[in-house]
């Protein structure tokens, strides 16, 4: 299964990932940065596995991230 | 002039902050977290830094302005309020805002508001509107000098006051980068890379070179400057007298992304220019010296006067990056400083350094020290030069701290086209 890694600290809260893959991303009302739903923190990075049918939307989220902090690991 | 003139410097790092203070800035502006125009910068400050910055500035009697000037979405409001609350609690002088949500909340909690260039205030009626929130308003960088003057005169005439009860003060950018678009209205980076300038993530693609090609024939248009969207940097050192006479109270230097030596040199030059004007010794001769000094730090070539003097467009940079006449080469790190004899010890990690060389020392507490090496020692013996690997000592009149960086300053041969 593919994985997503999210380097959350550098997020500028633009909301693009939420627009592209709303089932996997939401914005924290507390600090205005995006949250990778279902992820676990490993060091500075948030990681989760995703289903194949989620891949396309999340690839768009990674492509549109202006600060390039979303990595898809296939 | 019945009130002192304020020079406001950018502080994108502790090194730049100290450089600004030591060079004579009256105030600094900085951003924390992601709601500021340098959100994507590598070394953005955090809330913890805010406390430290305010403490340092208070010790030096320097005002602090927090930039809170991106476009704001609903999900940013909690963070924005948290930042304003912290700023108020820690005693930040004012928040620089462009979104009404931010200025409205700041006013509500009694935090002074300044209006950002992102709001591109270009006329007196807008000044009157923002005066309900703000005591200081920066005007759009794209105004002409006549337009600026008319606004300051009208404030006086109509007695437009801010929440403090004092007349609204006008701030002007006096040095640094200009934008291809009217500030706050550029969507180029967003449209091409989904990376919004107005969320502090400008990728500056306007700064690159471009070709103009006729799609029908494939013919390329011959243009003498391919940097057709990259304006030169604003420089007002030659007419600071006109700016001060116009009633502008706050002089702002652009460049939170710039190195500490840029901050040190720009603040130093404009400080001297303002003081010279006050003393009646503002001369052509001095202007030439300051201009030469300003050319030694980051610049895209100077557009002397910018839009303020109403010059025609066409002042394009002609180069990618800086046109500086001097560049820095990293030499090594400080190991020690001996207070009594005022001697600094460094480990050389690259290049060679000689007696007579111009050097730069930067550090988060030190700020910037710029000097020439008068004498040089290796293993306590006097030498003329030292190379990579050597441990050296030499006299430095100001205190140097361990891990401060040492740079060699060398001339740049700029033969790129204008």
Would the CB atoms of B34 and A29 count as touching at under 8 Å? no
Of A43, A63, A45, nearest to A55 by C-alpha is: A63
Cβ contacts of B196 on chain A, cutoff 8 Å: 14, 66
Instruction: Report how far residue A52's alpha carbon sits from residue A34's, in angstroms, rounded to the nearest whole number.
Output: 22
Q: In which band, very low, low, confident or very high, does the pLDDT at B345 lie, cut at 50, 70 and 90?
A: very high
Please state the domain count of chain A: 1
Would the CB atoms of A66 and B201 count as touching at under 8 Å? yes
- Using an 8 Å CB-CB cutoff, list residues of chain B that contact chain A: 33-35, 39-40, 73, 75-76, 78-80, 193-196, 199-201, 203
Look up the domain containing A23 and give its range. Answer: 3-73
Q: Tokens 């701030």 map to which residue?
A: B171
> Using one digit for the tens of pLDDT, what is the confidence trace for B200-258?
888 888 888 888 888 888 888 777 777 878 888 899 999 999 999 989 999 999 999 89
Nearest to B201 among A12, A27, A29 (CB): A12
User: Around Cβ B411, how many Cβ atoms within 10 Å?
Assistant: 11
Q: Cβ of A31 under 8 Å from any chain B Cβ?
A: yes
Q: What is the pTM of this model?
A: 0.87
User: Around Cβ B276, how many Cβ atoms within 10 Å?
Assistant: 17
Instruction: Report how far residue A61's alpha carbon sits from residue A18's, in angstroms, rounded to the nearest whole number.
Output: 8
Nearest to A14 among B78, B79, B196 (CB): B196
> Using one digit for the tens of pLDDT, what is the confidence trace for B28-59?
999 998 888 888 776 678 888 999 999 999 99
pLDDT at B3: 57
Indicate the burial class of B281 (C-beta count within 10 angstroms; 0-12, 13-18, 19 or more).
exposed
Residue B201 near residue A13 (C-beta atoms within 8 A): no
pLDDT at B313: 58
Would the CB atoms of B75 and A28 count as touching at under 8 Å? yes
Indicate the burial class of A45 (C-beta count within 10 angstroms; 0-12, 13-18, 19 or more).
middle
First to last CA, chain B: 39
User: Around Cβ B78, how many Cβ atoms within 10 Å?
Assistant: 14
Q: Which of A8, A10, A11, A13 to probe the B interface (max B CBs under 10 A)?
A: A13
Q: How far is CA B115 from CA B97, B179, B325, B333, B339, in A?
A: 5, 18, 34, 40, 44
User: Around Cβ A55, how many Cβ atoms within 10 Å?
Assistant: 16
Residue B26 near residue B62 (C-beta atoms within 8 A): yes
Q: What is the DSSP letter of B406?
A: E
Nearest to A12 among B78, B80, B199 (CB): B199
Cβ contacts of A65 on chain B, cutoff 8 Å: 194
CA distance A27 to chain B (A): 7
Nearest to A31 among B73, B79, B196 (CB): B79
Which domain CATH number covers A37?
A: 3.30.70.20
Q: Tokens 């300053």 map to which residue?
A: B409
Would the CB atoms of A66 and B193 count as touching at under 8 Å? yes
Instruction: Report how far residue B98's alpha carbon sits from residue B116's, in angstroms, rounded to the nearest whole number.
Output: 5
Q: Are strands B113-115 and B94-97 parallel, antiparallel or unpaired?
A: parallel
């Amino acid at each position: 299964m593919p994985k997503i890694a999210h380097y959350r600290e550098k997020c500028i809260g633009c909301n693009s990932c939420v627009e592209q893959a709303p089932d996997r991303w939401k914005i924290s009302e507390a600090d205005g940065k995006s949250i990778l739903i279902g992820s676990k923190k490993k060091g500075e990075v948030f990681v989760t596995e995703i289903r194949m049918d989620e891949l396309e939307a999340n690839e768009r989220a990674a492509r549109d991230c202006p600060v390039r902090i979303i990595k898809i690991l296939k | 002039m019945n009130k002192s003139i304020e020079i406001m410097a950018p502080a994108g790092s502790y090194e730049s902050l100290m450089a600004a203070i030591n060079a004579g800035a009256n105030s600094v502006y900085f951003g924390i977290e992601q709601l500021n125009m340098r959100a994507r910068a590598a070394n953005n400050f955090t809330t913890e830094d805010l406390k430290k910055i305010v403490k340092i500035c208070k010790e030096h009697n320097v005002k602090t302005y927090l930039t809170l000037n991106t476009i704001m979405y609903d999900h940013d409001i909690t963070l924005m309020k948290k930042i304003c609350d912290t700023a108020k609690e820690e005693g930040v002088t004012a928040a620089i805002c462009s979104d009404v949500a931010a200025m409205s909340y700041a006013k509500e909690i009694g935090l002074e508001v300044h209006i950002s260039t992102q709001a591109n205030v270009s006329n007196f009626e807008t000044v009157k509107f923002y005066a309900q929130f703000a005591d200081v308003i920066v005007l759009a960088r794209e105004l002409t000098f006549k337009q600026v003057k008319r606004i300051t005169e009208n404030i006086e005439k109509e007695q437009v006051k801010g929440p403090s009860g004092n007349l609204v003060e006008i701030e002007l950018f006096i040095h640094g980068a200009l934008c291809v678009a009217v500030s706050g209205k550029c969507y180029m980076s967003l449209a091409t890379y989904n990376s919004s300038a107005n969320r502090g993530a400008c990728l500056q693609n306007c700064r690159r070179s471009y070709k103009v090609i006729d799609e029908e024939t494939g013919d390329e248009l011959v243009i003498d400057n391919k940097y057709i969207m990259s304006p030169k940097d604003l420089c007002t050192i030659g007419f600071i007298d006109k700016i001060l006479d116009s009633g502008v109270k706050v002089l702002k230097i652009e460049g939170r992304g710039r190195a500490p030596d840029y901050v040190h040199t720009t603040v130093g030059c404009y400080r001297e220019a303002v003081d010279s004007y006050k003393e009646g010794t503002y001369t052509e001769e001095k202007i030439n010296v300051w201009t030469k000094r300003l050319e030694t730090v980051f610049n895209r070539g100077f557009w002397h006067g910018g839009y303020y003097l109403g010059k025609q467009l066409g002042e394009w940079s002609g180069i990618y990056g800086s046109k500086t006449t001097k560049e820095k080469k990293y030499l090594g790190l400080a190991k020690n400083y001996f207070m009594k004899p005022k001697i600094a010890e460094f480990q050389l990690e690259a290049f060679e350094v000689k007696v007579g060389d111009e050097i730069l020392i930067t550090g988060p507490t030190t700020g910037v020290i710029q000097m020439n090496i008068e004498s040089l020692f290796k293993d306590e013996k006097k030498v003329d030069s030292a190379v990579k690997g050597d441990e050296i000592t030499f006299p430095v009149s100001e205190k140097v701290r361990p891990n401060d960086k040492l740079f060699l300053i060398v001339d740049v041969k700029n033969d790129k086209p204008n």
